């Protein structure tokens, strides 16, 4: 039997961010988070397990990867193979349509696709909850990419992590007018990974406890904003939540500053647009790119204004996207 399968996963951007782990082995977060799965940033991954293979092979965006990057994928394959009796080597080929490690959640779509493809290649059938938990073990944010639309990752409280998984708040067709303008400032890989960065923040930022104190309220307001399609509330909470997370990063010792000067230029332009009556808000992750939230009616005007800024190298437009899914169109 051919033990091969392919999955496509969309990336997601958090509206209420995940930053900090209470358990690094199981990837259990200190706080719950909420995200929007994106329709146009995705990763396609083919996994084949084969007794004939003499080693694991991992190819990401056309390049064979080694070292830590390969080890992380192989560790995940080992985890998936706990469902079967015999462990064999695998070939993994993965392609994303956006730059990796640049603050665009490539590990989210990457590990969500790897999990579904791997599990299917092993001929296992898991529930969405189980897939979310397994994806979480690869990368925390991947737990949310398993589902489409608007998603909450419940932090859970059980030590084994069995209640720390994503659930769907609303499907992707609930609010198709909600738009995200992803501005690309730099495609350089970041110097401090999210994993290392969040661990340092938890240990050293005096603002980290204050961050945690505000999360429950942000989560509740964000859920209300999504279900009632209250764009102003969604934007205000998302922007404020992102700035609070970055305040914990900036006050980490040594400091973690993902912003570039271009990031600030765009953030200020968003505030100016708002002062001019165009409803838009920004959010940022562990990288310099600024993502602008707006409604479809304002999209063209905001996009053309932002496009005029010298610091913007590229722009991608996203709307709420679908859950991770299987395809027969294999990469090899």
SS3 of 226, please?
helix
C-beta atoms surrounding 147 within 10 Å: 29
Q: Which stretch binds ligand 2P0 (CB under 6 A): 11-19, 44-52, 119-127, 172-180?
A: 11-19
Please state the closest distance from residue 52 (CB atom) to ligand 2P0, in A.
32
Q: Which is nearer to ligand 2P0, 17 or 155 (CB)?
A: 17
- Report d(CA 218, CA 213) in Å as an integer: 10
Residue 96 or 139 with smaller CB distance to ligand 2P0: 139
List, in sequence order, every beta strand (DSSP E) within the chain: 3-16, 21-23, 28-29, 33-49, 57-60, 63-64, 90-96, 150-153, 166-170, 178-184, 281-284, 290-295, 314-318, 325-327
The answer to whether residue 140 forms part of the interface with ligand 2P0 (CB under 6 A) is: yes
**Please, what is the end-to-end C-alpha distance for the chain in angstroms?**
17
Smallest separation, CB 31 to ligand 2P0 (Å): 9
Pick one of 9, 27, 116, 147: the residue that binds ligand 2P0 (CB under 6 A).
27
Kindly state whether residue 182 participates in binding ligand 2P0, applying the rule CB under 6 A. no
Burial class (CB in 10 A: 0-12, 13-18, 19+), 25: exposed
Distances (CA, A) of 250 to 65, 102, 197, 200, 264: 31, 18, 11, 11, 14
Contact between 239 and ligand 2P0 (CB under 6 A)? no
Can residue 14 be called a binding residue for ligand 2P0 (CB under 6 A)?
yes
Decide if residue 107 touches ligand 2P0 (CB under 6 A).
yes
CB of 135 to ligand 2P0, least distance (A): 10
| 195 binds ligand 2P0 per the rule CB under 6 A | yes
| Residue ranges in contact with ligand 2P0 by CB under 6 A | 14, 17-19, 27, 33, 105, 107, 139-141, 194-195, 285-286
């Amino acid at each position: 039997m051919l033990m091969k399968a392919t999955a496509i996963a969309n990336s997601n951007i958090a509206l209420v961010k995940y930053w900090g782990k209470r358990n690094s082995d199981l990837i259990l977060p200190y706080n719950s988070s909420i995200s929007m799965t994106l329709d146009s940033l995705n990763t396609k991954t083919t996994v084949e397990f084969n007794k004939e293979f003499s080693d694991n092979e991992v190819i990401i965006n056309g390049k064979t990867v080694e070292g830590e990057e390969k080890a992380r994928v192989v560790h995940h394959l080992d985890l998936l193979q706990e469902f079967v009796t015999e462990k064999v080597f695998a070939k993994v080929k993965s392609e994303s349509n956006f730059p990796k490690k640049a603050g665009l959640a490539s590990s989210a779509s990457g590990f969500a696709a790897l999990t579904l493809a791997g599990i299917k290649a092993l001929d296992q059938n898991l529930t969405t909850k189980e897939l979310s938990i397994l994806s979480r073990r690869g990368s925390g944010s991947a737990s949310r990419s398993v589902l489409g639309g608007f998603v909450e990752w419940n932090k859970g409280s059980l030590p084994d992590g069995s209640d720390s998984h994503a659930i769907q708040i609303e499907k992707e067709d609930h609010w198709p007018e909600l738009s995200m303008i992803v501005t690309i400032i730099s495609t350089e890989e970041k110097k401090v990974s999210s994993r290392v960065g969040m661990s340092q923040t938890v240990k050293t930022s005096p603002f980290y406890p204050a961050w945690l104190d505000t999360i429950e309220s942000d989560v509740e307001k964000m859920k209300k904003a999504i279900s009632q399609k209250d764009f102003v509330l969604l934007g205000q909470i998302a922007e404020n939540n992102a700035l609070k997370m970055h305040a914990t990063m900036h006050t980490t010792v040594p400091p973690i500053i993902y912003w570039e000067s271009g990031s600030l230029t765009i953030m200020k332009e968003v505030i100016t647009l708002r002062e001019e009556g165009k409803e838009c808000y920004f959010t940022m992750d562990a990288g310099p790119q600024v993502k602008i939230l707006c409604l479809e009616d304002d999209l063209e005007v905001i996009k053309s204004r932002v496009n005029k800024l010298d610091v913007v190298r590229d722009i991608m437009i996203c709307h709420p996207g679908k859950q991770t899914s299987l395809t027969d169109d294999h990469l090899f």
